[in-house]
Amino acid sequence: MAKEKQNQDKAESDITTHDHNPYDIVKGLIQESVKALGLDENVYHVLKKPMRVLEVSLPIRMDDGTIQNFTGFRSQHIDILGPTKGGIRFHPNVNVDEVKALSVWMSLKTAIVDIPFGGGKGGVIVDPENLSVSELETLSRTYIRKITPIIGPQKDIPAPDVNTSPEVMGWMIDEFDQLRGYNIPGMITGKPVIIGGSLGRLEATGRGVVFTIREAAKVLDMDLSKSTAALQGFGNVGSMTAKFLHELGVKIVAVTDARGGIYNEEGIDIPALLDFVKDGSNYASDFSDAESITNDKMFGLPVDILIPAAIENQVTKETAGNIQAKIVAEAANGPTTPDGDKILEEKGVFVIPDILCNAGGVTVSYFEWVQNTMNYYWKEKEVNEKLEEHMLFGFEKVLEMKNDKKCRMRDAAYMVGINHLVKAMEARGWIRGSDMESNHNDMK
Ligand SMILES: NC(=O)C1=CN([C@@H]2O[C@H](COP(=O)(O)OP(=O)(O)OC[C@H]3O[C@@H](n4cnc5c(N)ncnc54)[C@H](O)[C@@H]3O)[C@@H](O)[C@H]2O)C=CC1
Ligand SMILES: O=C(O)CCC(=O)C(=O)O
């Protein structure tokens, strides 16, 4: 027993040595928050591991007749609040630790904005740019077939993430429905509206990001209509964030994507850029209304708001030193490494942490699932109003915790999420006698 404990302690002390492994990063942050809340360390031991992780092999017949065998994962972190929930990512860098970390973040995110779901996440190691449309469809359908035993509207509900879209969700639900023999719209969210998708889901993550930026600007007494911003990533989340920021009068001077970036000191014409990328055939970085800029240079621009909206580990000890922004809004999951974070803290940057900032996507996914369950559909106005309520609730809770504990926004977000999960663990008898503060996080 003592030896087991020693091994456990050693594994945990290794956390700091794996700076860029998102799963190590999230475990480290949970451990610190559990300590800061004065909770029993058993809470950390429950939360540190996903309850279930599935690895699947995905042999696909390619257009040229050869077979390629891809690898996919689905991680389900904890289901004490409800079914697990989270996106599916298609990317060459997907790995089991990334998927596990993303599922843990989903649990904290749903807890912060008071959504009755747990955290899940899936991924396939693939560069979809190398696949034809029919190969991509076969891969999407095969992945869903392979994870079918562990998903469903009351078990685990997937959604889009990096390089997956409503079209991909459409193929996936069709495969699931055909296997089950009837339509089950609540098995996946972010699907096309015609087959049960929610109005406002496509825009939801970016809309939510902008709600949090608006609240942060109030805290800092910043006039958004006189502010500037730079964005990394112009996919679903980046482009929608740009659209809503532009509508608030923010001047967006730089946008980057996986291929490069564009810069215009006078402000990029965002409506024209959105039009340019609309049908998916153009990259934002090819937009001609601006000069080229690298990701690294973009991070150091003299802007008020910086929005990483692409992938993990972008705000690092190398890039954070150059950041001049007053607000870093983490639209992406896990964009900041611990040493990057330390530099942001030293500079006094107001960080809107990912698990709060990008929670709008899963919030409207929850609304989509509710509508599917009722088989009754809401107007977009209703969706957006409810989204705003949940985002403001989460923001206020986190800000309150930050002020109370005199800590960073990130630590405050973890503490709010963990407190909420602890209440559910106690209610289910998973933990006992913990000396947590009576800090209910329910909106009701
Ligand atoms: N789609 C959603 O509803 C949600 C997504 N997120 C997170 O937001 C982030 C972006 O997701 P989506 O917009 O859905 O993906 P997406 O696939 O639509 O777009 C990703 C964008 O990032 C760019 N990109 C990729 N690697 C890059 C790099 N190394 N440097 C610069 N740009 C790079 C791509 O070119 C693309 O513009 C991810 O971290 C995702 O987990 C978070 C919450 C919900
Ligand atoms: O809409 C959802 O269910 C999940 C969105 C997601 O993957 C995320 O928040 O990272």
HEC profile of the chain: CHHHHHHHHHHHHHHHHCCCCHHHHHHHHHHHHHHHCCCCHHHHHHHCCCCEEEEEEEEEECCCCCEEEEEEEEEEEECCCCCEEEEEEEECCCCHHHHHHHHHHHHHHHHHCCCCCEEEEEEEECCHHHCCHHHHHHHHHHHHHHHHHHCECCCEEEEECCCCCHHHHHHHHHHHHHHHCCCCHHHCCCCCHHHCCCCCHHHHHHHHHHHHHHHHHHHHCCCHHHCEEEEECCCHHHHHHHHHHHHCCCEEEEEEECCEEEECCCCCCHHHHHHHHCCCCCCHHHCCCCEECCHHHHHCCCCCEEEECCCCCCECHHHHCCCCCCEEECCCCCCECHHHHHHHHHHCCEEECHHHHCCHHHHHHHHHHHHHHHCCCCCHHHHHHHHHHHHHHHHHHHHHHHHHHCCCHHHHHHHHHHHHHHHHHHHCCCCCCCCCCCCCCCCC
pLDDT for 51 equals 98
Does position 442 have pLDDT exceeding 60, yes or no? no
- The protein residue with its alpha carbon nearest to ligand 1, atom 9, reads 332
Region of poorest pLDDT, from 84-88, 167-171, 341-345, 435-439: 435-439
For residue 212, which phi and psi values (nearest 5 degrees)? Answer: -70, -35
Region of poorest pLDDT, from 10-14, 93-97, 268-272, 326-330: 10-14
152 CB contacts (<8 Å, ≥6 apart)?
83, 184, 187
**Which atom of ligand 1 is found nearest the CA of 259?**
35
**Which atom of ligand 1 is found nearest the CA of 331?**
8
Mean pLDDT of 416-426: 96
Mean pLDDT of 44-52: 97
CA dist., res. 94 & res. 420, Å (int): 29
CA-based torsion, 410, 415, 420, 422: positive or negative: positive
Residues 158/159/164/167 CA torsion (nearest 10 deg): 100
What value, to the nearest 5°, has the Cα angle with vertex 407 and ends 295 and 321? 25
Any atom of ligand 2 within 6 Å of the Cβ of 314: no
Does position 269 have pLDDT exceeding 50, yes or no? yes
- The protein residue with its alpha carbon nearest to ligand 1, atom 7, reads 332
Any atom of ligand 2 within 6 Å of the Cβ of 27: no
Any atom of ligand 2 within 6 Å of the Cβ of 361: yes
pLDDT for 443 equals 55
- The protein residue with its alpha carbon nearest to ligand 2, atom 2, reads 362
For residue 190, which phi and psi values (nearest 5 degrees)? Answer: 80, 20
Between the CA of 430 and the centroid of ligand 2 the distance, in Å, is 26
**Which atom of ligand 2 is found nearest the CA of 88?**
7
Active site annotation includes 146 = no
CA distances from 152 to 51, 72, 208, 376, 377 (A): 16, 18, 26, 20, 20
pLDDT for 289 equals 74
Three-state SS for 79-127 is CCCCCEEEEEEEECCCCHHHHHHHHHHHHHHHHHCCCCCEEEEEEEECC
User: Measuring from each residue's beta carbon to the nearest atom of ligand 1, which residues come in under 6 Å?
Assistant: 160-163, 205, 232-238, 256-258, 295, 309-311, 331-333, 358, 361
Token readout for 238 is 């980046």
pLDDT for 14 equals 33
Between the CA of 257 and the centroid of ligand 1 the distance, in Å, is 9
Ligand 1 pocket, mutate which of 167, 241, 244, 257 (most atoms under 8 A from CB): 257
Write down the pTM of the prediction: 0.94
For residue 79, which phi and psi values (nearest 5 degrees)? Answer: -120, 30
CA dist., res. 443 & res. 114, Å (int): 7
CATH code of the region 203-357: 3.40.50.720
Q: Closest by alpha carbon to 23, among 40, 47, 6, 41?
A: 47
CA dist., res. 222 & res. 202, Å (int): 28
Between the CA of 89 and the centroid of ligand 1 the distance, in Å, is 10
Residues in the chain: 444
Q: Closest by alpha carbon to 280, among 211, 342, 248, 234?
A: 234
Between the CA of 305 and the centroid of ligand 2 the distance, in Å, is 23
Tell me the pLDDT of the chain averaged across its residues.
Answer: 93
Between the CA of 236 and the centroid of ligand 1 the distance, in Å, is 7
pLDDT for 10 equals 35
Does position 158 have pLDDT exceeding 50, yes or no? yes
CA dist., res. 380 & res. 46, Å (int): 38
Any atom of ligand 2 within 6 Å of the Cβ of 209: no
pLDDT for 436 equals 52
Between the CA of 6 and the centroid of ligand 1 the distance, in Å, is 39
88-124 residue pLDDT tens:
999 999 999 999 999 999 999 999 999 999 999 999 9
Any atom of ligand 2 within 6 Å of the Cβ of 207: no
Q: What is the strand order of the sheet 52-61 is part of?
A: 52-61, 67-78, 118-125, 84-91, 156-160
Beta bridge partners of 260: 257
pLDDT for 435 equals 45
- For the chain, first and last CA: distance in Å? 43
CB contact at 8 A, 92 and 126: yes
Does position 22 have pLDDT exceeding 80, yes or no? yes
**In the chain, pLDDT over 70 holds for what percent of residues?**
93
pLDDT for 288 equals 84
Q: What ipTM was assigned to the predicted interfaces of this complex? A: 0.99
pLDDT for 19 equals 55
Of 27, 121, 243, 326, the catalytic one is: 121
pLDDT for 58 equals 98
Ligand 2 pocket, mutate which of 88, 115, 241, 362 (most atoms under 8 A from CB): 362
Between the CA of 361 and the centroid of ligand 1 the distance, in Å, is 13
